[in-house]
Amino acid sequence: MIRLHVDADLATGGRVAPSPDQSHYLLGVMRLAQGADLLLFNGRDGEWRARVAEVGKRGCVLELKAQVRPQATPPDLELCIALVKRARLETIVEKAAELGCRRVRLVLTRRTQGDHANVARLSAIATEAAEQTGRLDVPEILPPLRLDALLDGWDPGRALLFCDEGGEARPALEALAGRAAERWAVLIGPEGGFDPAERDRLRAAPFVTPASLGPRILRADTAAIAALTLWQAQLGDWRG
């Protein structure tokens, strides 16, 4: 069944007017007719069964019928990813959403290629991934921030898994098992790796857990997927 993320509050008997783009998707792409059922979620009120109540030239109106799943809170996991080329960054955001990240922080490092990203497009990609995977929220995509600024403002109660391609780090599963924390973030560097000064600062921070992702050099998108997968298997919602 089609799932759609909306901003409106969801409650029994409520009516939701999708955006023009969403109406076009429902009526023009998916060919829904009046009376058709679909699922709605907004990240706050759980998942709701709705039906197409009205169809007009300007779009449609959806009527809420009943909640089918209560709101659930995903693991408190963030991905901090250095900016990489657009296609790979879009893949990373899509997979981060599929793998349960609450938010994605875009990071500027000394070896980052480029200094900007289309946050609105990345948010749209995250929304589509959330709709397709059945999750009840959409990960937040935060605009690019310098690594030094990110670390300066870091909440020390959140453990940071630093995927260190420079070696001298324990395997990721072992590193994760060795640190007790409820809130985590995973940090993936740019294709050129971290600058030595950045690496030294990361390894000196008390909230940082350095980890190795194996003997091979991984591209940023592969490294992000691998690290998030390992975290979910060791500490996340894949365990139950």
Please report, rounded to a whole number, the percentage of residues in the chain having pLDDT higher than 70: 99
DSSP classification of residue 237: T
Domains of the chain (ranges, CATH numbers): 3-69 (2.40.240.20), 77-234 (3.40.1280.10)
132-165 pLDDT, tens digit each? 999 999 999 999 999 999 999 999 999 999 999 8
DSSP-derived 3-state class of residue 48 = strand
Query: What mean pLDDT is reported for the chain?
Result: 95
Cβ 22 vs Cβ 7: under 8 Å:
no
Beta bridge partners of 40: 4, 48
Structure token pair of residue 115: 């200094």
Going along 14-102, which residue ranges are E strands? 15-16, 37-41, 47-56, 59-69, 77-82
Q: What are phi and psi of 188, to 5 degrees?
A: -120, 130
Q: What is the pTM of this model?
A: 0.94
Please report, rounded to a whole number, the percentage of residues in the chain having pLDDT higher than 90: 88
DSSP-derived 3-state class of residue 225 = helix
| Residue 139 to residue 136: CA distance in whole angstroms | 10
The H or E element spanning position 204 is: helix 196-204
**Is residue 39 exposed (0-12), middle (13-18) or buried (19+ Cβ within 10 Å)?**
middle
169-207 pLDDT, tens digit each? 999 999 999 888 899 999 999 988 999 999 999 999 999
pLDDT of the residue at 191: 85
CA distances from 72 to 29, 191, 228, 236 (A): 30, 35, 20, 14
Cβ 64 vs Cβ 51: under 8 Å:
no
DSSP-derived 3-state class of residue 1 = coil
Query: Cα torsion for 201, 205, 209, 210, to the nearest 10°?
Result: 20
Among 49, 71, 96, 64, residue whose Cα is nearest residue 224:
96
Burial code (b: 16+ CB inside 10 Å, e: under 16) for 103-133 equals: bbbbbbbbebeeeebeeeebbbbbbebbbee
pLDDT of the residue at 240: 63
Average pLDDT over residues 3-24: 96
105-137 pLDDT, tens digit each? 999 999 997 778 999 999 999 999 999 999 999
